Amino acid sequence: MTAFANRRLFVQGLLLAAFTGAAQAQADEPVAIVQRIFETYAKDGIPRVPWSPAVAARIKRERLEADPILEAQDTDVKGFAVREVSRGADRAVVEANFTSFNRKMRSQFDFRLVDGKWVIGNYRILAGVEFTPTDFRRSLKMPPLN
């Protein structure tokens, strides 16, 4: 193989790695994460939610009787829309509007960048539940998210 061919393969490899890395970075962005969560719910699945380490530890200790995102024991998501509300260097807020068990719901996910990965530090239901809007950290008796 010639030096030119080696360089061409090397450059192609770099470009492939860059595009693959960019695609992975987009897949790990807050909006994409919430999109995947609701796509999984819409297929009657249980999503892997990237909770922050502190929230994940508290969830593990508590015995939750319902899914904290849907406020239900079963999944029933018929439609959803996801949008970014705000974004900073290390924090983001993503809103989801969805229908679950014939209830139109609006909620927000508070993200933090921890060790280079976006994680959910809090989840708030803003509308659609028969009782007062909920704050997941407060229900877990955790301090507010800074």
Domain boundaries, the chain: 30-139
Strand-strand pairing, 91-100 and 77-87? antiparallel
Instruction: Quote the CA–CA distance of 23 and 36 in Å, as a whole number.
Output: 15
Asked if CATH classification 3.10.450 holds for the domain at 30-139, the reply, yes or no, is: yes
pLDDT of residue 5: 42
pLDDT of residue 26: 52
Quick one: which of 101, 95, 102 has its CA closest to 37? 95
CA distances to 26, 64, 109, 111 from 145, rounded to whole Å, are: 25, 20, 11, 10
What's this model's pTM, rounded to 2 decimal places?
Answer: 0.77
Q: From first to last of the 146 residues of the chain, give the pLDDT tens digit.
A: 554 443 443 334 433 333 333 334 455 899 999 999 999 999 988 899 999 999 999 988 887 888 888 878 888 888 899 999 999 999 999 999 998 888 888 999 999 999 999 999 999 988 766 656 788 888 888 888 87
pLDDT of residue 21: 38
pLDDT of residue 117: 96
What does the block give as tokens for 79? 């439609």
State the SS3 of 38-53: HHHHHCCCCCCCCECH
User: 135 forms bridges with which residues in the sheet?
Assistant: 124
